A and B are shown apart, each in its own frame.
Chain A
Amino acid sequence: MASTIVIKDVSKSYGKKIVLNQINLTVESGQIFGLIGPSGSGKTTLVKMIVGMNRPSHGDVHVLNTLVPNLNLMQKIGYMAQADALYGDLTGEENLRFFASLFKLKKEEQKVRINYAANLVNLTAHLKKKVQDYSGGMKRRLSLAVALIQDPQILILDEPTVGIDPELRQSIWTEIRRLKTTGKTILITTHVMDEADKCDRLAMVRDGEILASGTPAELKEQYNITSLEEVFLKAGGKKG
């Protein structure tokens, strides 16, 4: 398996504050990789770095064997930001169409992809509504649809299921797994432990460092416990 994302010795600081400290991480192609950690641990910072929105202070990130940041690479990455960044005065469909044209999709393809993405997140009936009239969950779903619009090879989802009801969360996970079978690589951040179990591999982040990584089973075994939540507490506790 080829490595899709390779993070080597990455540190990031804002002024004196060190947000990421010597991160090493490899995400293999076709994996669902979970970054799990409490809020403020540096997940969003790391994820934005992979997309190419900010540069590491030290170390480097390669995606698909290309040094990040790189504009061509962005075409291949579908990014769902933690905070919904949508145009409230436009309809759902207009939002999708706008992003589709930023990725230079052809007219026909746009139509197909908009239908696909909207259907996936159950928004087809609401496409003509202005986004400012959407509920929080609907906005989250639209953000996911935007991330999928150009049929990207890599999906980077920053806390995608926050504010989404359990039923839809279930269907989103089903889709994430289906996307995986089509060969996509998916990096997902979460602070919800039960979602971690659904990942192929995990990395636990705390205070800008990776405490542990491996498959969920490996982690449980390594720490000799059954729930990941406990792993987290143990791993975190060990560090003090």
Chain B
Amino acid sequence: MRVLALVKRISQQMIRDKRALALMMVAPLLILTLLDYLLTSETVTPKIGVAHVDDMLIEQLEEMDIAVLTYDDIEDKEQIIIDKELDGFLRMEDDNIQITLKNANPSTAKALQMKIQQAVAAVSAKEQANKLSLFIQQIQEKAPGNLIELEQGKALEIDTDYIYGKQDTTFFDQLSPILVGYFVFFFVFLISGIALLRERTTGTLDRLLATPIQRREIVFGYLLGYGLFAIIQTIIVVFYAVKVLDITLIGSLWHVILINLTIALVALSLGILLSAFANSEFQMMQFIPIAIIPQIFFAGIFPVEGMADWLQVIAKGMPMYYAGNALVDVMYKGLGISDIQYDLLILLGFAIVFILLNIVTLKKYRDI
């Protein structure tokens, strides 16, 4: 009953606090939308200049979506790259190919280099094949009689199949499940933590503790009260991500919501817990770089398996590691509940530990 009184009060306060509501409900959508545009925007066609390159290679390059500008001869490749805003320059000298890359952005430069190498390899394979058939033809002319029909040599083609995602999957598709969970985590943490902190600094927590309310009733009241808003937030964020931004969702939407609700529970209990160790809202903010930001690094954006051993140990102490795992499993890989139950249980474990610690921590203010 007292728990419900608290839930009701928290809801009244929250509904009146338009800024907090907007922060919780709208801010994650804005950030997701922005990232969606940033990370899925069309990659620009790279532009390179060439000199003394044969037509076959140029054709091949153009086939690979590279804009090619042909120059007769050039004095200064670097100057041309910069003046004409080229991404690179290709030049044949004798039998050598010399590539100059602008490398303004290392990852696009790497991609361009790969493409050029592929094009060169394809052309030389074709040339080899042509030479071979020419050679056989000559032999046959010198020794007529038994005609050998030779198939035209062909460069190898690579067919790629994907277990997860498809050819046009972008980084955002893998990142977005993690971000959806992270935003739920972040905003729920912040709002519930600051709420209990304010309760303490304005003296109302003390006043509350002068009534027969039990410590656990306060904790559960907070969990439920802010939990309600976390549920609404989770549903809005997940639906927006899936239905509006069209983020890859192969598994079940309900599993995604279930995971996010578990994340919200962890964030709630952690926020309330840490607020006990802050004396002002600014001190609460100081927990963000320590307790919140590092979580995103271990949530699966960078492959944890590749990290140093001690980093992997840290990763496994972070709720977002399990949350990110579960979300990527469901949204991107389309796995089912049996694959995420382990992650969910660990997240619940975190929440239970934080809740118990909360009940104990409140002893600081009233020891019964």
Contact = CB atoms under 8 A, between A and B. Distances in A.
A70 interface: yes
Contact of B366 (A53, A88, A102): A53
Nearest to B367: A55
B40 interface: no
B160 interface: no
A90 B206 CA distance: 18
A81 B210 contact: yes
Contacts of B206: 53, 81, 85
Contacts of A81: 203, 206-207, 210
A90 B9 contact: yes
Contacts of A83: 203
A104 interface: yes
B203 A102 contact: no
B202 interface: yes
Interface stretch (B11-19, B141-149, B174-182, B309-317): B11-19
Given A101-B1, A101-B5, 5 more contacts: A55-B367, A85-B203, A90-B9, A90-B12, A103-B212
A71 B211 CA distance: 8
A79 B212 CA distance: 12
B22 to A, nearest CB: 16
Interface string B185-213: 00000000000000000111011111111
Contacts of B202: 85, 88
A51 B210 contact: yes
A107 to B, nearest CB: 12
Contact of B368 (A69, A90, A94): A69
B13 A87 contact: yes
Contacts of B211: 74, 99, 102-103
Nearest to B365: A53
Contacts of B207: 79, 81, 85, 146
A134 interface: no
Interface residues of A, number: 30
Contact of B210 (A53, A87, A98, A104): A53
Interface residues of B, number: 26
Contacts of A146: 207
Contacts, number: 71
A128 B2 CA distance: 23
B367 to A, nearest CB: 6
Contacts of B133: none
B100 interface: no
Interface string B13-47: 10011000000000000000000000000000000
Nearest to B208: A102
B49 to A, nearest CB: 65
Contacts of A94: 9, 12
Contacts of A92: none
A201 to B, nearest CB: 24
A89 B211 CA distance: 21
A7 interface: no
A83 B201 CA distance: 11
B113 interface: no
Question: Do most interface residues of chain A lie in helix, strand or loop, or is the interface mixed?
Answer: loop
B367 A104 contact: no
Interface of A: 51-55, 69-72, 74-75, 77, 79, 81, 83-90, 94, 98-99, 101-104, 146
25 contacts: A51-B210, A53-B206, A69-B366, A71-B212, A71-B214, A74-B211, A75-B212, A77-B210, A79-B210, A81-B210, A84-B203, A85-B202, A85-B207, A87-B13, A89-B13, A90-B12, A94-B9, A94-B12, A98-B8, A101-B2, A101-B5, A101-B8, A102-B208, A104-B2, A146-B207
A54 B204 CA distance: 16
A136 to B, nearest CB: 15
Contacts of A52: 210, 366, 368
A85 B211 CA distance: 13
A84 B206 CA distance: 11
Nearest to A74: B212
Given A69-B368, A104-B1, A98 B214 contact: no
Contacts of B13: 87, 89-90
A71 B368 contact: yes
B228 to A, nearest CB: 17
B222 to A, nearest CB: 14
A89 B195 CA distance: 12
Given A85-B203, A87-B204, A94-B9, A70 B1 contact: no
Scoring B9, B13, B365 by chain A CB atoms within 10 A of each residue's CB, the highest score goes to: B9
A89 B210 CA distance: 21
Contacts of B2: 101-102, 104
Contacts of B365: 53
A183 B4 CA distance: 33
Contacts of B208: 102
A98 B9 contact: yes
